[in-house]
Structure 1
Amino acid sequence: MGQNGFGKTSFLNALKLLFTGSRNEPLRRAVQRRRMPTVQQYVLGAGDDWWGIMNRRARTDGETRCAVELRWTENGQAVTAERSWTIEGDTWQEQLEVQAGVTRFGDEAAQEFLDRRLPPDYVDFFFFDGEQIQALAEANRDTQQREMERILGIGAIDALREALKQADNGWQRNELKPEAKAELQRLEGSARAIFEELRTLEDNQANLEQEIEDDQEALRRVRRRIEGVSAYVHRHNEGELKEALRRVQAEFADGRERLSAELPRDVVLLANPSLVRRAIDRLDQVLRSDAGARGRVLETLTRTLPKRLFDGPDRPDPDIREGQRAFYKYKLVRLLEQDMTDAGSAMGANFAPDPQAGARARDQLAPYAEAEGLRSLRAEALRSLQQQAAELRKLEADLLNVGSLSEEDRKQFERYVEEREQLERALTDKQQRIGALQSELGQQQRKLDETKKRIIEIQNVVQAGGIARDKIELARRLRNLFSKLKDHRKKEQRETLESAINRHFKLLMTSHHLIDRIQVDDEFGLHYLDRDGHPIAMGALSAGMKQLMATALLWALSEASGKQVPVIIDTPLARIDARNQKAILTQYYPNAAAQVIVLPTDSELDARKLGLVAENVYTAFRLINPDGEHTIPMPVDVAELAAGL
């Protein structure tokens, strides 16, 4: 036990770091309030928010190596696991070693050794913070399902099904005609490029959103400073001026936010009506041309002819195989699409959209050709913002004029106003860029979806030989078999899990009976029911009750996992009232695992509470940190602590 800041959470996170390494996303997400650092930032540090994994004093003193080491006994032999980092400047190297008896494992083999004892997916179910576990009870349905399927071993079946799917795709690829295989490779490369572009855009959006949040915080600080300077004014009409100032500020903020959301979508089209009209005229020429008519006919044929020929009731006798039908259908579609492309090319080298795209473009441009009303609306919104900005400056000046500020204070006020206006301009610009990014993200996602659709179409065009066809069919039957196995396992585990959760929850929740029963549905969603069987909304549950619910869930899941791993809990009694604390201390901790380590503060586990668990405590330590840089665990006598000595 120890005071806040003495290293209890660091101890917990060090153990997580040993088992999972520095790429662990939940660990990285926990160290910065606003955004998750990269692996590089997590190891080396990210400014004042996070100093990195090495002790700050050690790094200042020139140390270049840090490590986490754990020792335990397994099947009568000593085991030592150590994960270390060597840090020199902006470079670092991570190493993992395990010594089991006389056998030494390194890196991948060492990680495999640790994973067999405690898989990374299980770590957060055995090493956790009592203040944060209620998030498990509050998690959305998909998150709950993923977490439970992983700990219950059901997720492994999905991994097998995915491996079979990849094998199926590979066998189908090998049976494709050369031209179809080349097209498939091109599309897959295109899909990877689009996916990377999407990730880049998402990163840019996240960074921009962070900048906006920082600017908004800076803007709030500047406004508080302006209010502080204005506090020196006299009171004879200050109240009216401040009320008017608040009203105009609210109107200005609302108008700016609304305009920044609307303007990026159509500002170019609104600002260039003559260009829009010329584009519509050119599209009309294209769509009225012979090539345009030919393109429209080809588009209709592409949509209807393959289905009429190959999917209709009038089939040849004897019929062709399904693979042949899919192949000829694919070839016909490609020929028609090529003719459509040629038709588009005939429309002119400088402007040759396919007819369908041209018609869509014309429909989208048409509202902007005569959009005087919309242009006037946008212009009026801009004028209104300018007027409100001018009114804000005047009200602030009036506030100063009714007071008796010194010249120095007045200049300081003017600097604050200028800083505020710069921040507001920057915010407006960034919010417009966010709008543009979101639009581009939508376009890229549609491109990716269309590319994936084309990939699936090509993969289905297979003229497989006997052996390949048998392998493909076997893989598909196995996938269906594993799907049924997953459903069967889920049913079994659901019933076992529901029984265990209810049993443990009744032991922990002794103060009242708002929740009579917890129901686990077929998808592992949790439902809380009262004694009449009516559902209880999550919002009706207190924070302490949610934590007890999550504790019962973790208890049941750790039992179901079958792993003999110590349970380690930081801040074990957070948000739980005194009566339910007794149940946690006397029911959960003695039974949660063969070994349980709790990391309480001095006030959290006082002498009275220690007395409840003293007979189950093997050893206790008090954390001391005399210089604020080094924590030392000092053994203490449990009996003396329980006696209040």
Structure 2
Amino acid sequence: MAKITFSSISIENFGPFRDRQTLDLTVTSSRSVVLVKALNGSGKTTLLTALQVGLYGVKAINSVRRTEYEQLVQSLQRTDAVGHASISVGLIVDIGGVRKEVTVRREWPQKRGSFTESFSVLVGGTVDMEFTHGWDEFIGGILPAELVQLFLFDGEKIEALANPERLPDLLRRATEVFLGIGGIDVLGNDLKAVERRAALRNKDNSEEYEAAKNALLELESQAETLTRTHADLIQEQAASRNTLDQAKLALERYVAEARRGGLAAYEQAAQIRSNAVSANNQVNAVRSSIAEAMSDPFLPLAWLHRLWARYEDEWATDRQGRNAKLLTEEFKKRDRRILAALTAEGSGGSVSLVRELLKRDLDQARAARYRKPLLTTDGDPADVNANLMRARSHIQATVASFESARRELDVSERALGEVPAEEQLADILATMQGKTQTVAVAEQRLAQISTVLSETQGSLSHVRARLDAARSRLSTEFKDRSLETKGLEAGARARRTLTVFKDRLLASKAHWLSEMITAEFRSLLRKRKLVSHVLVDPSSYEVTIKDGKGQELPMDRLSAGERQMLAVSVLSALIKERKGRFPVVVDTPLARLDRQHRTSLIKRFFATVSHQVIVLSTDEEVDGAAYDALHPYTNREYILDFSDELGHTTVRSDAGRSSALEVA
């Protein structure tokens, strides 16, 4: 089997590329990565499209309508082109140990109202007519066009492969193609043709057989027509589903941007206004509470401040004076008792001396302690202080509540001021309505196609049942009339055997896929214990994920980054089945991944998935730690520079940065 390696690509007058731009894509076995960096709109996706279109032409877009391919190419042709639009893809083709350098070239002359494409394959600089005419068969034998997007894919859309509804069909079809099972189907169809011809020859002279033969031919014609219609509808359904997914994604992104531009505040305007009214009512209620608290009869005493303290001091002094007066009277009584005792017991001189001393002490005590009271005795401030403290605490709490309510009102009024007017959002609302309408139309179109597909499937099943009955009648009622009838039976047995063989072959490959996808997924995941196994059902090819406890883990429980890692794991398993026979090109692979997932993807996917990997990145994706992780595997680096002034992109080699890192 041949092996393909890109050696170069040249683009002229195609997308943002006006003057001929050429990228050398040769790599070595130890450095198999070519890094192409560019800002959005500078030509990354155009480069991916150019590789697909250059190799596969109309088959690159997986559409049953050639007009879609023509519209795609015409939309990418530059109106300011001087010459033809062209794509030249240089290839190194290894076949049976022989290496050929081949150039695949497509040109599109700029003709208004018509579409013309020129295609040629050059070997050694000369057009090889035989290779040119057989190119579709040659490249399809290496990698069928329907699977090219598994090798040349958009990293931002790859998460869609993890859709549980699409994944089984993708895995089954890819496995059938990679295993060459299509040959089994062709052999089965050949046996059907042999059966049909044998039955027709055997009963040419029988009117009854003629009727049965005509009925069989009619049913076969109906079955073939319905089969083609069914296949076309499946492709159309897939295209419609992709259109719907893109429309939904565009709507989600626009709504997210609009919310940052004021739409969120506009949508919450009713709640914001309600909050403002509630805050204003709270302020008014607290203001009434303040008025009620101010009416407390004890509250004015709190405003006396120092005067009230002075009153307390004066009242204490009066109380002390009253107490001193009582003590003085008691001292006088005590002195009389002492003098009477001394008179009875002692001399007159001693009594006189003691009397004089006691009188002097009493006079001093009376002069120091007694003052005529200034205040009434029933005005004790201690009786008032409890009520005063209660009134003061009440007014303080009420004022604090008022301040809190006022702050809430200020916040609500500021939020209300940020709500944009409806006329300010008119354009945003109109655009959003348009995108919503686009989603609705896409959903309606998908529903219509699904309905027609279901009806066609039912009709096809019915016709096949009738066809099997007609064939059974021919092989039973007329089996003893000719030796060829035995061929019908042998052909039927062979077809049944081929069917069993095909199913068992697919089942055995399902087990291999389970092991490969599990190994790839666990090596890429940041949460190593999140998944224990990824199972591919041998019959339906449905994918089931088991968590660390052996329980089923629904795919919708995975994060966006984890779903992308699952899709990449599926791709890695399928790509490695090709055993390095075709390059891998990925556009915008890291935009939605965190740092750890980026490093895993670089080291365990880019470095091992194929003998040649081309990474198309934005200027911020492969930078810093991601760039350092990719650098050991990078052979060449390019930058796509788009000039706003000139309106086109030029290719610039970024060899300087690579050299600097090598030295470091």
For the superposition of Structure 1 and Structure 2, which TM-score range results when normalised by the shorter chain?
0.5 to 0.7
Partner SS for 1:484: helix
Cα pair 2:590 2:621 within 8 Å, conserved: yes
CA distance in 1, matches of 2:111, 2:201: 48
CA distance in 2, matches of 1:121, 1:578: 33
Q: Which residue of 2 aligns with 1:147?
A: 173
Q: Is residue 24 of structure 2 the alignment partner of residue 6 of structure 1?
A: no
Deviation at 1:444, TM superposition (A): 8.1
Could you tell me which runs of 5 or more consecutive residues in structure 1 were left unpaired when the two chains were aligned.
Answer: 29-36, 218-234, 241-408, 414-419
For residues 151 and 555 of structure 1, do their structure 2 counterparts lie closer, same or farther at Cα, with a shift above 3 Å needed?
farther
CA shift digits 1:593-624 (9 cap, x unpaired): 11111001001111332122212111110011
Summarize deviations over 1:263-322 as a string: whole Å, max 9, x none: xxxxxxxxxxxxxxxxxxxxxxxxxxxxxxxxxxxxxxxxxxxxxxxxxxxxxxxxxxxx
Over aligned residues, Cα RMSD in angstroms? 5.0
Over 3 Å counting, the alpha-carbon distance change for 1:161 and 1:139 in structure 2 is farther
C-alpha separation between the residues in 1 aligned to 2:551 and 2:239? 44
1:189-268 equivalent positions in 2, closer than 5 A: none
Q: What is the match of residue 504 of structure 1?
A: 520
Which residue pairs with 1:474 in the alignment? 490
- Which of 54, 69, 77 aligns to 2:100? It is 77
Matching residue within 84, 109, 126 for 2:134: 109
- Taking the aligned partners of 1:538 and 1:642, their CA distance within structure 2 comes to 40
User: Secondary structure of the equivalent of 1:631?
Assistant: strand
Contact 2:202/2:482 (<8 A) preserved: no
Take 1:199 and 1:483, find their aligned partners in 2: how far apart are those partners? Answer: 20
Relative distance call for 1:554 and 1:630 in structure 2 (3 A) is same
Report the TM-score when normalising by structure 2: 0.54
Looking at structure 1, the residues matched to 200 and 619 of structure 2 have their Cα atoms a distance apart, in angstroms, of 64
- 1:489 matches 2:505: yes
State whether residues 19 and 115 of structure 1, in contact with CA within 8 Å, keep that contact through their aligned partners in structure 2. Answer: no
Structure 2 residue identity aligned to 1:470? K
Mapping 1:273-312, distance limit 5 Å? none
Q: CA deviation at 1:630?
A: 2.9
Relative contact order: is structure 1 or structure 2 higher (C-alpha 8 Å, sep ≥ 6)?
Answer: 2
Distance (Å, rounded) in 2 between the aligned partners of 1:587 and 1:546: 17
Write the mapping of 1:570-581 to structure 2, written as runs, cut at 5 A. 570-581=587-598
Change (3 A) 1:622 1:486: same
Structure 1 residue 43 and structure 2 residue 79: aligned? no
The one-letter code matched in structure 1 to 2:80 is R
SS across alignment from 1:592: coil
Secondary structure in structure 1 of the residue aligned to 2:550: coil
Distance 1:131 1:562 in 2: 25
CA deviations on 1:93-148 (whole Å, 9 max, x unpaired) are 44443234575435541212222332223312211111122222224254244334
1:563-610 deviation per Cα after TM superposition (whole angstroms, max 9, x unaligned): 421111111113211111111122221111111110010011113321
Q: 1:555 to 1:446 in 2, by over 3 A?
A: closer
* Counterpart secondary structure, 1:88: coil
| Paired position in structure 2 for 1:615 | 632
Mapped partners of 2:589, 2:117: distance in 1: 32
1:526 and 2:543 are equivalent in the alignment: yes
Rounded to whole Å, the distance in 2 between the matches of 1:611 and 1:437 is: 48
Distance 1:514 1:192, change over 3 A: closer
Structure 1 residues 435 and 161: CA distance shift in structure 2, 3 A: closer
1:120 partnered with 2:136: no
1:634 has 2:652 as partner:
yes
Contact 1:6–1:624 under 8 Å retained in 2: yes
1:531-550 counterparts in 2 under 5 A?
A: 531-550=548-567
Distance 1:208 1:98 in 2: 34
Does residue 99 of the first structure (1) align with residue 119 of the second (2)?
no
Q: Work out the CA distance in 1 between the residues paired with 2:446 and 2:100.
A: 58
Post-superposition Cα deviations, 1:386-443, rounded to whole Å, max 9, x if no partner, equal: xxxxxxxxxxxxxxxxxxxxxxx9xxx9xxxxxx9xxx9xx99xx9x99999999998
Aligned partners of 1:175 and 1:25: how far apart in 2? 46
**Scaled by the length of structure 1, what TM-score is found?**
0.56
Say which one has the larger Rg.
2
Which residue of 165, 174, 196 maps to 2:192? 165
| Paired residue secondary structure (2:75) | coil
2-structure distance, mates of 1:447, 1:505: 41
2:470 aligned residue: 458
In 2, Cα distance between equivalents of 1:492 and 1:554: 19
**Residues paired across the two proteins, number:** 434
> Displacement of 1:634 after TM fit?
1.0
- In 2, Cα distance between equivalents of 1:111 and 1:613: 34
